[in-house]
Amino acid sequence: MSQYDFEMEEVRSKSSERTAVIFLALILFPLLAVIGIGGYGFLIWMSQIIFGPPTV
Protein backbone atom coordinates (compact mmCIF):
# COMPACT_ATOMS: atom_id res chain seq x y z
CA MET A 1 0.00 0.00 0.00
CA SER A 2 1.48 3.32 -1.00
CA GLN A 3 1.52 6.50 1.06
CA TYR A 4 -1.13 8.02 -1.25
CA ASP A 5 -3.52 5.11 -0.64
CA PHE A 6 -3.03 5.43 3.11
CA GLU A 7 -3.76 9.17 3.03
CA MET A 8 -6.90 8.66 0.92
CA GLU A 9 -8.11 5.96 3.32
CA GLU A 10 -7.53 8.33 6.27
CA VAL A 11 -9.44 11.15 4.55
CA ARG A 12 -12.29 8.79 3.69
CA SER A 13 -12.35 7.51 7.27
CA LYS A 14 -12.49 11.03 8.72
CA SER A 15 -15.20 12.01 6.26
CA SER A 16 -17.36 8.99 7.07
CA GLU A 17 -16.84 9.55 10.80
CA ARG A 18 -17.90 13.19 10.47
CA THR A 19 -21.00 12.11 8.52
CA ALA A 20 -21.87 9.55 11.19
CA VAL A 21 -21.54 12.10 14.00
CA ILE A 22 -23.70 14.62 12.15
CA PHE A 23 -26.32 11.92 11.50
CA LEU A 24 -26.35 10.91 15.16
CA ALA A 25 -26.43 14.45 16.54
CA LEU A 26 -28.92 16.01 14.14
CA ILE A 27 -31.22 13.14 13.16
CA LEU A 28 -31.08 9.99 15.27
CA PHE A 29 -30.84 11.33 18.84
CA PRO A 30 -33.55 14.01 18.41
CA LEU A 31 -35.81 11.47 16.70
CA LEU A 32 -35.32 8.96 19.52
CA ALA A 33 -36.01 11.68 22.10
CA VAL A 34 -39.27 12.67 20.40
CA ILE A 35 -40.36 9.04 20.10
CA GLY A 36 -39.47 8.31 23.73
CA ILE A 37 -41.19 11.37 25.18
CA GLY A 38 -44.20 10.93 22.90
CA GLY A 39 -44.47 7.27 23.87
CA TYR A 40 -44.33 8.12 27.55
CA GLY A 41 -47.02 10.79 27.12
CA PHE A 42 -49.20 8.32 25.20
CA LEU A 43 -48.74 5.73 27.95
CA ILE A 44 -49.80 8.24 30.64
CA TRP A 45 -52.77 9.35 28.52
CA MET A 46 -53.98 5.77 27.95
CA SER A 47 -53.54 4.86 31.63
CA GLN A 48 -55.66 7.88 32.61
CA ILE A 49 -58.37 6.84 30.15
CA ILE A 50 -58.41 3.31 31.63
CA PHE A 51 -57.88 4.05 35.34
CA GLY A 52 -59.12 7.63 35.54
CA PRO A 53 -57.17 10.75 36.42
CA PRO A 54 -54.94 10.80 39.50
CA THR A 55 -56.71 11.88 42.66
CA VAL A 56 -55.41 13.29 45.92
For the chain, the structural domain boundaries read: 1-56
CA 9 distance to own-chain centroid:
27
Nearest-angstrom CA–CA distance, 54 and 41: 15
DSSP for residue 25: I
What pTM was estimated for this model as a whole? 0.67
Amino acid at site 11: V
pLDDT in tens, 13-52: 888 899 999 999 999 999 999 999 999 999 999 999 999 9
Classify residue 15 as exposed, middle or buried by CB count within 10 Å of its CB (0-12, 13-18, 19+): exposed
Q: Which residue has the higher pLDDT, 56 or 43?
A: 43
